[in-house]
Amino acid sequence: MDSNIDKINVSKMKKKISKRIIIFILIFILLIGIVIFRMSHNIYYKYNDWWVIGRTQEEIEERYGEFDIKDEESAKYFMYIYSDYILGVPETPYYYEILFDKSGIAYEVRIGTVMH
pLDDT band at 79 (very low <50, low <70, confident <90, very high): confident
Shared domain check, 61 and 97:
yes
Write out the H or E segment, with its range, that includes residue 1: none
Shared domain check, 100 and 59:
yes
Has residue 39 got a pLDDT over 90? yes
**Average pLDDT, whole number, for the chain?**
87
Shared domain check, 71 and 26:
no
Q: What is the DSSP string of 71-90?
A: ETTTTEEEEEEEEEEETTEE
For the question of whether the overall pTM of this predicted structure is more than 0.85, the answer is: no
- Structural domain of 98: 46-116
